[in-house]
Amino acid sequence: MGEEKKVSRGNLLIVLIIAGIFALGVLGYILLVESIHEENKPQNIPLLQQLRKEVTEELKEFKLHKILKHRDLVLRRENFTQISRYQKYVTPNDPVVLDYISTHHITSIEDAYYRAVSWVWVSDQTLHGKPELWLLPAVFIRDTPSYPTNPVPGNIVSDCESQAYTLVSILEAVGVPKEDVRVVVGEVNFSGEKGGHAWVQIYKNGDWVELEATSGPFWDDDNHKLVNNKGFPFNFFETHPYPVEEYWAFFNDKYYHNPHNGKQSPGLPPHWLTQ
């Protein structure tokens, strides 16, 4: 009988030890999960909100909502299911583009951006009498200054897509790898006004950074006057969130990607799948 009690006590002790080890394991797992969850929480929500507020204020100052009001990009997401046909508008080897670069001594990304910001946004309706018309960069650079419908004669004028793919053409021509620069089309929110838009992204330090050429001067169709915006600083969107609502397509003359239907060019760089 005494031996049986010793065995029972020994078994009970073993059970208690195993139960304790199991409990410690469960507790450790719970603490680990909570720690990971905590790490994945946004750590700077007030900062992000402040940055978004700053972007909104800048957009209000530049009155960029007006370019959406006047149908900056009439095309919608469904128009970009076949992106390859838009690639012809990126022309880094065009003699007109190369001459423009030489004439204006453009040698860097920053040079190209500030030159693009000097272009004047004018709606397609004002310039062409129709809601949408894409111009090749050579036509945009060489011909629009003398268009009879140009409300600011002598200035290079057009709307967002012309400015975006011409800037990409220039950036490629001055040496930015095709893997690291692209035209973006999508829906944006400029101070509460939502609509289609085209802009530029460059890949820098592991992230895509926006360049907004249309933040420069624009023709105000409501008041029939030129609004002389200075444009966003070159590196503004390195530290501020771009007000995109939805991405529709990414492209240049070599690569393209549609994030909705998955269509993409052969040999697409992996970082093109990021936004």
Q: List, for residues 209-267, the tens digit of each pLDDT value.
A: 999 999 999 999 989 999 998 899 999 999 999 999 999 999 999 999 999 888 999 99
> 142 and 200 in one domain?
yes
| Whether 85 and 27 share a structural domain | no
Q: For residues 112 and 194, state if they share a domain.
A: yes
In a domain, 46, yes or no: no
CATH number of the domain where residue 218 is located? 3.10.620
113/171 same-domain check: yes
In a domain, 12, yes or no: yes
Q: Let me know if residue 27 belongs to a domain.
A: yes
Per DSSP, the three-state class of 252 is: coil
pLDDT of res. 101:
99
Residue 110 token pair: 């920053």
Predicted local distance difference test score (pLDDT) of residue 45: 46
**Could you tell me if 31 and 118 lie in one domain?**
no
pLDDT of residue 107: 98
Residues 13 and 102 in one domain: no
The answer to whether residue 15 sits within a structural domain is yes
Domain interval for residue 197: 52-273
Sign of CA dihedral 157, 173, 132, 234: negative
Kindly give the parts of the chain with pLDDT less than 70: 1-82
Structure tokens of 203?
A: 């890949």
> Is the domain of 1 the same as that of 131?
no
Q: How many CA atoms lie within 13 Å of 134's alpha carbon, on the beta-carbon side?
A: 15
Q: Report the C-alpha gap between 196 and 245 in whole angstroms.
A: 10
What is the C-alpha separation between 213 and 118, in angstroms, rounded?
8
Q: Are residues 117 and 160 in the same domain?
A: yes
- Please indicate, yes or no, whether residues 35 and 94 belong to a single structural domain of this protein: no
**Strands, DSSP E only, in the chain?**
120-121, 157-158, 181-190, 193-204, 207-211, 218-220, 225-227, 244-251, 256-257
Tally Cβ neighbours within 10 Å of residue 16.
10
Residue 220 falls inside a structural domain: yes
Is residue 161 included in any domain, yes or no?
yes
Residue 105 in domain: yes
> Is 217 found in the same domain as 175?
yes
Tally of structural domains, the chain: 2
Pair (29, 56) in one structural domain:
no
Burial class (CB in 10 A: 0-12, 13-18, 19+), 142: middle
In a domain, 47, yes or no: no
pLDDT score, position 33: 38
Same domain, 111 and 14: no
